[in-house]
Chain A
Amino acid sequence: MKTVVPRGSGRNRGRGRSSRSETGDSPRSGPAGRRPAEPAGPALRAVGLTRVYGEDESLVWAVDGVDLDVPAGQTLAVTGPSGCGKSTLLQLLGGLDRPSEGEVWLGGLRIDHLGERALARLRRRSVGFVFQAYHLMHELSAAQNVELPALLAGASPRAARRRAAELLQQVGLAGRARHLPSELSGGQRQRVAVARALANDPLVVLADEPTGNLDSAATHDILRLFDELRAAGQTLVMVTHDERVAATADRVVSMRDGAVADDTRLDGDGRGTRHTHGYGGGHGGGTGLGALLRWED
């Protein structure tokens, strides 16, 4: 976060570095997602998104003029040092917080000026949240936690139960459906949370430091799960300070001082050719990882 007084001089100061993007925003090519009838346009769009806290002398631009398009089916990681505004951005995108300026569009619908009830309804149906601390209901079983969003969205108990069973199966916890969160490991709780996020088949899943509390084996499980969602065409935005987590996304946006400092695609173009440095043409055919092997006889 940065503290700025007064506003005019605060814009684009510092290192004078503007946002750099090396790529366009075309949707990921590849196997068809499970929503072939996705409306045209990005699943999620931010225009000049700004969130200011405080007043007068102590204004803080937590998010400062962010423009972002997330095409349907893309997995996007937002990284940056703590205080860079990445979590605030995620809250704005998910309608958990309201921007001071700018627009948020979800599936072609502008949401930043919706009334509280309409916004709550939209969040329930169209956005799946995953938090670092799981945020499960302690007194409900794993299955009941996953059923809840469907029930709140008006599904019948029977349909909600069926959907929950299906999702727990998908996250590998069919055998733990009746366990309370306190009877599950951190990694298992987070998998329940992911299942819950998917309950209403959301347009986007927003995850804030989803592996922040997990050890490496549990992180592995969550990342594999995200990878399955990605293959199924789920749009996913995750905030993380862990480069290894960010590296599993299609695209990484780095934030500094509330603004986008870098925007890099990790999929698509150039994938097969970028590690040619350091080895001769005759050794071609291997993956880029082969370049890390130093073989000396």
Chain B
Amino acid sequence: MQDVVLALLTKEPSHGYDLRQRLAAALGPLGDALNAGQIYVTLTRLEKAGLVLQEREDAPVRGPRRKVYALTAAGQQRVAAWMAESAGPRADVTEFHLKLVAAAESGLTDPLALVDARRRELMRSLAEAQRAALAYDTVSEAGLLLEGITLRLQADLRWLEACERTWSARAPRGEGEGNG
């Protein structure tokens, strides 16, 4: 979650309440378990690690002045590294979803580029699992496990199709990556 919070601070400094709202919007019912305290715990840890620093809001439009958090240079580096790194073979749906949201909100990476990279990664894992599955009898224990693994990977790939549709519909006009 640290990486997601850092990414949400990329575009502009923000306060804990705003971060929680944005996460809640991205997570829907999965965010119900997320309370305000957890965001502040994360922000405090990030501050101790020197990745964010606290600022006072200059002139709030209304209400009291709130603590506003901003990325440090180290925080920016960490976000960039997180964006560049692949999600890994075991990443779950929520993790990758938040990365796409964070990529779009931060403007650091095109979510569609992440979807493409993820598709290739999963497709290669699937190729490996499927070729292994063909070598085993479907009724063997290993064959059964491999079938489960290929079905999971297939489900992930199908969800990526939905990600591609949604994020391409949202892509800002005129900002395509048409290079060639």
Contact = CB atoms under 8 A, between A and B. Distances in A.
A15 B124 contact: no
Given A15-B112, A244-B130, A248-B130, A292 B123 contact: no
B126 A243 contact: yes
A227 B123 contact: no
A223 to B, nearest CB: 6
A278 B88 contact: yes
A22 B120 contact: yes
A294 B90 contact: yes
A243 B168 contact: no
Interface string B114-138: 0010011101111111111110001
A278 B90 CA distance: 9
Interface string B168-180: 1001000011111
B129 A15 contact: no
Interface residues of A, number: 36
Contact of B125 (A14, A220, A288): A288
B126 A244 contact: yes
Nearest to B86: A277
Given A216-B138, A220-B134, A17 B126 contact: no
Given A17-B178, A22-B120, A220 B89 contact: no
Interface string B85-123: 110111000000000000000000000100010011101
Given A16-B178, A289-B132, A291-B89, A248 B127 contact: yes
Interface string A1-34: 0000000000010111110101000000000000
A274 interface: yes
Contacts of A135: none
A217 B138 CA distance: 7
A223 B125 contact: no
A292 B138 CA distance: 20
B47 interface: no
A200 to B, nearest CB: 27
Contacts of B45: none
A17 B112 contact: yes
A266 B89 contact: no
Question: 4 shortest A-B CB distances, which residue pairs?
Answer: A16-B176, A266-B127, A247-B126, A16-B178
Interface of A: 12, 14-18, 20, 22, 81, 216-217, 220, 223-224, 227, 242-244, 246-248, 252, 262, 264, 266, 271, 274-275, 277-278, 287-289, 291-292, 294
